[in-house]
C-alpha cells in the first residue's frame, strides 16, 4: 500500500523536494534561539558585550523572518501539492467508477461511494502534505535539540531521553483501539452520506407519503451512529493526550528540579546560562516528539481513507470481459442460445433461454414482473456477464466484441429515464457528442419534441433540473428518444418505455418509437399488451423461461399464457375485441 501511495508523489518531486528542504531549514532555525541564549548569558552579558547582545537579537529576528517565508512556502505549496494529488486520485477513482460493472452499483450505495470520493480523499491529501513535512521538521528539530542538550550536559540529556520510550509506549498502547475507532468512524460517515443521498433523492416520495418523521428517524439513527463512533475516537484521543501530556509535564518539572540542583551544587561546569538554554531546549525537544506522536491521528485518518480508496481501485473492472473484435457493420440479427443467468446471492433468473430475432424485426417480451424480461435486455449490451450459454449478433458471439464497440450499436429506452442536470441541448447531444446543430435539430423533430423546445423561453438552453425534474414524464421520454435518434443504433431495446405514461402521451410517444424502430432490430418489454400487437413475434417470459412464443394472433388462438394475460388486461374494457380475436 505504501508503494501505491508514494506513486502519487511522482509528478510532484520538485515541490516535494523543496518542501522537505524548507522543512529541514525550519527545523535547524528552531535550535538557534537556545544557542544564542546560552552564549548571551555565559559570555556577552558577563563581559559587557552590549553590541553583541543587540547583534544576536538582530540575527534571531533575521532568521525568524527567513523561517516565516519558509513556513509560508511549506503551508502554501505543500497544500497545493496535496490538493493536486487529491485531484489525481479523484480522477483515477472517477475513471475507475466508469469501468466497474453494473453489479458493483447494485451492491454499493451512492452515498458510500461519494464519501470515498470526498471525505477519504481529503484525509489522504492532508496526510500527503503534512506527513513528510511533520516527519522532517519534527525529526530534525528533535535531533538538533537533543544534540545540543547533550552538548550542554550529557547527564541531563540522557535523563530527558528517557521520556521518549515512555511516550511511544503509550502511543503503541492506544494505537490499536484508535485505529479501530477511526475505521468505525469512516463507515459511519459513509453511512450517513448514503442516508442523506437517499433521502434527498426521494424527497418528493417522502412528501407524497407524508413520511418526513420516518426519514428523520432513519437519519437520526445514522447520525447517532456517527456520534457514537466519533465519541469512541475522541475518547481514545483524550486518554492518550492527557496521559502523554502529563508525562511531558512531569519531565519538564524533573528537568527543572535536577537542573536547579546541578546549578546549586555547581556540578561540573553547569552554570546559569547552561541551565536557561537547557530549559528552553527541553521544550524544543519534547514539542516535536509530541508532534510526531500526535501525527498518529492524521496518519490513521489518511491510512483508513487510503485503504478504502485502494479497495475500490482494486475492484474487478468490466475490461476483464472485453473481447478483441470491434463491432462495426451490424445487420441486427440477434440470437440467444441456451442462456442461463443469475444475480449474486439470488436464485436463477434466466433458465435455458433461447430465441432468434431476424434483422429489422421486433420481438416483444411480456409476462409477470420479475420473470426475467429486463435481465434479457441487460445481457445484450453485456451489463451483466453470462455464466452459461451464448448471445450472438449477426452470428458473432458478443463476448468477442469490445464492450465499447458493442454498446455503441445498441440503444436503450427505459421506463425510468435518466437525464443529466443541464440544458435540453446538452442532454440530446449526449447521444452523439460533437453532433452538428442540423443533426440535433433532426433528432428532436423525429422525436416530436421540437415544437415543445421552440415554445420554451430559453429554447435549447433551457435548464431541465436534476434528473429532468422540470419536465413531464412524456417530455423526458421524448428527450431520451431524441438522444437515441442522434446515436442511431442498429439494435434497439425498449424496456417498458411507455408504461408510466397516460394514454394520450403514450400515443404520442408510440409514434416516436415507431419512427425510431424503422429498419432496426427491436426488443420490446411491454406491460400494456395493446402496444405490442403488431410485433413480429411475442415471447411470454415467466420464472426465467420462455413459455410461449409466436405472433399476437397465434398466441391468442393457442389459448395459453398470453391469452390469459390478454384476457386479464382487457376483461373490463375489451371483452368484445378479445372474443372476436379468439375467433
DSSP per position, 393-459 = ETTEEGGGB-HHHHHHTEEEEESS----SSBHHHHHGGGSTT--HHHHHHHHHHTT-HHHHHHSTTG
pLDDT value at residue 117? 81
Q: What is the DSSP letter of 266?
A: T
pLDDT value at residue 404? 87
pLDDT value at residue 500? 54
**Which CATH class for the 2-316 domain?**
mainly alpha
**What mean pLDDT comes out for the span 492-505?**
70
pLDDT value at residue 204? 64
pLDDT value at residue 175? 64
- Give the residue from 446, 502, 494, 495 showing the smallest Cα distance to 472: 502
- Percent of the chain, pLDDT > 90? 9
DSSP 217-234: HHHHHHHHHHHHHHHHHH
- Give the residue from 436, 434, 454, 457 showing the smallest Cα distance to 445: 454
The answer to whether the CB of 433 falls within 8 A of the CB of 394 is no
pLDDT value at residue 316? 86
Residue 486 binned pLDDT confidence (cut-offs 50, 70, 90): confident
Q: Model confidence over 308-317: pLDDT tens digits? A: 889 889 888 8
Q: How far is CA 470 from CA 133, 199, 476, in A?
A: 50, 19, 9
- Give the residue from 159, 26, 16 showing the smallest Cα distance to 81: 16
pLDDT of residue 270 exceeding 70: no
- Any residues with CB less than 8 A from the CB of 280 and at least 6 apart, and which? 33, 34, 37
**What mean pLDDT comes out for the span 314-331?**
83
**What is the CB-side half-sphere exposure of residue 276 using CA atoms within 13 A?**
13
391 or 129, greater pLDDT: 391
Q: Tell me the torsion sign for CA atoms 561, 562, 563, 564.
A: positive
pLDDT value at residue 379? 92
Element housing 112 (H / E): helix 110-115
151 or 350, greater pLDDT: 350
pLDDT value at residue 392? 94
Length of the chain: 583
Q: How far apart are CA 114 and CA 95, in angstroms?
A: 14
pLDDT of residue 42 exceeding 50: yes
pLDDT value at residue 24? 82
Q: Model confidence over 3-27: pLDDT tens digits? A: 888 888 888 889 888 988 888 888 7
Q: Model confidence over 205-225: pLDDT tens digits? A: 676 667 778 888 878 888 888
Q: How far is CA 410 from CA 308, 332, 413, 415, 538, in A?
A: 35, 10, 10, 17, 20
Share the mean pLDDT of the chain.
80
Which residues of the chain does CATH 3.40.50.300 include? 325-409+536-583
Residue 199: CB atoms within 10 A of its CB come to 18
142 or 76, greater pLDDT: 76
Q: What is the DSSP letter of 492?
A: E
Q: What predicted TM-score, i.e. pTM, was given to this entire model? A: 0.72
Residue 260 binned pLDDT confidence (cut-offs 50, 70, 90): confident
Q: Model confidence over 180-209: pLDDT tens digits? A: 776 777 777 777 777 777 777 777 667 666
**What mean pLDDT comes out for the span 414-432?**
84
Listed range (110-114, 290-294, 331-335, 474-478) with the worst mean pLDDT: 290-294
SS3 at position 389: strand
pLDDT value at residue 308? 85
Q: What is the DSSP letter of 325?
A: B
The fourth-level CATH superfamily of domain 325-409+536-583 is P-loop containing nucleotide triphosphate hydrolases (3.40.50.300)
The answer to whether the CB of 270 falls within 8 A of the CB of 262 is yes
pLDDT of residue 60 exceeding 50: yes
SS3 at position 537: strand
**What mean pLDDT comes out for the span 435-452?**
87
Q: Which of 43-52, 60-69, 147-156, 513-522 is modeled with the greatest confidence?
A: 60-69
Listed range (54-58, 89-93, 103-107, 200-204) with the worst mean pLDDT: 200-204
Residue 56 cell numbers, joined? 544576536
Q: How far apart are CA 380 and CA 355, in angstroms?
A: 13
Q: How far apart are CA 188 and CA 227, in angstroms?
A: 9
Residue whose C-alpha cell is 423461461: 545
Q: What is the DSSP letter of 338?
A: E
**What mean pLDDT comes out for the span 248-277?**
71
pLDDT of residue 267 exceeding 60: no
Alpha-carbon radius of gyration of the chain:
36
Listed range (84-88, 256-260, 389-393) with the worst mean pLDDT: 256-260
Q: How far apart are CA 90 and CA 96, in angstroms?
A: 10
Give the distance from CA 138 to its chain's centroid.
34
Q: How far is CA 261 from CA 270, 272, 273, 284, 577, in A?
A: 10, 11, 14, 22, 112
The answer to whether the CB of 204 falls within 8 A of the CB of 329 is no
**What mean pLDDT comes out for the span 111-140?**
80
Which residues of the chain does CATH 1.20.1560.10 include? 2-316
Residue 535 binned pLDDT confidence (cut-offs 50, 70, 90): confident
pLDDT of residue 510 exceeding 90: no
DSSP 533-575: TT-SEEEEEETTEEEEEE-HHHHHHHTSHHHHHHHHHHTTT-H
pLDDT value at residue 583? 37
pLDDT value at residue 580? 36
Give the distance from CA 380 to its chain's centroid.
28
Amino acid at each position: 500500500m505504501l508503494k501505491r501511495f508514494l506513486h502519487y508523489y511522482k509528478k510532484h518531486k520538485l515541490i516535494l523536494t523543496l518542501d522537505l528542504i524548507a522543512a529541514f531549514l525550519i527545523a535547524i532555525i528552531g535550535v538557534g534561539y537556545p544557542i544564542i541564549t546560552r552564549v548571551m548569558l555565559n559570555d556577552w552579558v558577563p563581559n559587557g558585550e552590549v553590541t553583541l547582545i543587540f547583534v544576536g537579537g538582530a540575527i534571531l529576528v533575521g532568521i525568524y523572518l527567513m523561517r516565516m517565508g519558509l513556513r509560508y512556502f511549506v503551508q502554501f505549496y505543500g497544500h497545493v501539492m496535496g490538493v493536486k494529488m487529491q485531484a489525481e486520485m479523484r480522477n483515477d477513482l472517477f475513471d475507475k467508477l466508469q469501468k466497474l460493472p453494473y453489479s458493483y452499483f447494485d451492491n454499493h450505495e451512492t452515498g458510500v461511494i461519494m464519501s470515498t470520493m470526498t471525505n477519504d480523499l481529503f484525509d489522504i491529501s492532508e496526510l500527503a502534505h503534512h506527513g513528510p513535512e511533520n516527519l522532517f521538521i519534527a525529526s530534525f528539530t528533535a535531533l538538533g535539540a537533543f544534540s545540543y542538550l547533550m552538548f550542554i550536559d550529557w547527564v541531563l540529556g540522557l535523563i530527558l531521553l528517557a521520556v521518549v520510550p515512555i511516550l511511544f509506549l503509550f502511543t503503541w498502547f492506544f494505537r490499536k483501539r484508535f485505529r479501530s475507532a477511526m475505521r468505525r468512524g469512516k463507515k459511519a460517515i459513509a453511512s450517513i452520506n448514503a442516508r442523506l443521498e437517499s433521502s434527498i433523492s426521494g424527497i418528493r416520495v417522502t412528501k407524497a407519503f407524508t413520511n418526513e418523521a420516518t426519514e428523520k428517524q432513519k437519519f437520526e439513527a445514522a447520525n447517532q451512529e456517527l456520534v457514537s463512533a466519533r465519541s469512541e475516537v475522541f475518547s481514545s484521543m483524550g486518554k492518550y493526550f492527557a496521559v502523554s501530556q502529563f508525562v511531558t509535564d512531569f519531565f519538564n518539572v524533573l528537568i527543572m528540579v535536577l537542573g536547579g540542583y546541578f546549578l546549586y551544587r555547581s556540578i561540573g561546569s553547569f552554570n546559569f546560562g547552561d541551565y536557561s538554554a537547557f530549559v528552553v531546549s527541553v521544550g524544543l525537544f519534547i514539542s516535536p516528539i509530541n508532534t510526531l506522536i500526535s501525527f498518529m491521528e492524521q496518519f490513521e485518518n489518511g491510512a483508513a481513507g487510503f485503504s478504502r480508496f485502494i479497495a475500490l481501485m482494486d475492484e474487478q473492472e468490466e475490461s476483464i470481459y472485453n473481447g478483441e473484435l470491434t463491432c462495426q457493420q451490424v445487420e441486427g440479427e440477434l440470437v440467444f442460445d441456451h442462456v442461463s443467468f443469475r444475480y449474486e446471492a439470488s436464485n436463477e433468473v434466466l433458465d435455458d433461454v433461447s430465441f432468434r430475432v431476424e434483422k429489422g424485426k421486433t420481438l416483444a417480451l411480456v409476462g409477470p414482473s420479475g420473470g426475467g424480461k429486463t435481465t434479457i435486455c441487460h445481457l445484450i449490451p453485456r451489463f451483466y456477464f453470462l455464466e452459461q450459454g451464448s448471445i450472438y449478433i449477426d452470428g458473432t458471439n458478443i463476448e468477442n466484441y469490445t464492450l465499447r464497440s458493442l454498446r455503441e450499436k445498441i440503444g436503450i429506452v427505459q421506463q425510468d429515464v435518466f437525464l443529466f442536470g443541464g440544458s435540453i441541448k446538452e442532454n440530446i447531444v449526449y447521444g452523439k457528442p460533437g453532433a452538428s446543430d442540423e443533426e440535433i435539430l433532426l433528432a428532436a423533430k423525429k422525436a416530436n419534441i421540437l415544437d415543445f423546445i421552440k415554445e420554451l423561453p430559453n429554447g435549447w438552453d433551457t435548464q431541465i433540473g436534476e434528473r429532468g425534474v422540470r419536465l413531464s414524464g412524456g417530455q423526458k421520454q421524448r428527450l431520451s428518444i431524441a438522444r437515441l435518434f442522434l446515436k442511431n443504433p442498429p439494435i434497439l431495446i425498449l424496456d417498458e418505455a411507455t408504461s408510466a405514461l397516460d394514454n394520450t402521451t403514450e400515443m404520442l410517444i408510440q409514434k416516436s418509437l415507431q419512427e425510431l424502430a424503422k429498419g432496426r432490430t427491436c426488443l420490446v418489454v411491454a406491460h400494456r399488451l395493446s402496444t405490442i400487437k403488431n410485433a413480429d413475434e411475442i415471447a411470454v417470459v415467466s420464472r426465467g423461461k420462455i413459455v410461449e412464443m409466436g405472433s399476437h394472433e397465434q398466441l391468442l388462438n393457442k389459448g395459453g399464457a398470453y391469452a390469459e394475460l390478454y384476457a386479464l388486461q382487457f376483461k373490463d374494457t375489451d371483452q368484445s375485441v378479445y372474443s372476436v380475436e379468439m375467433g
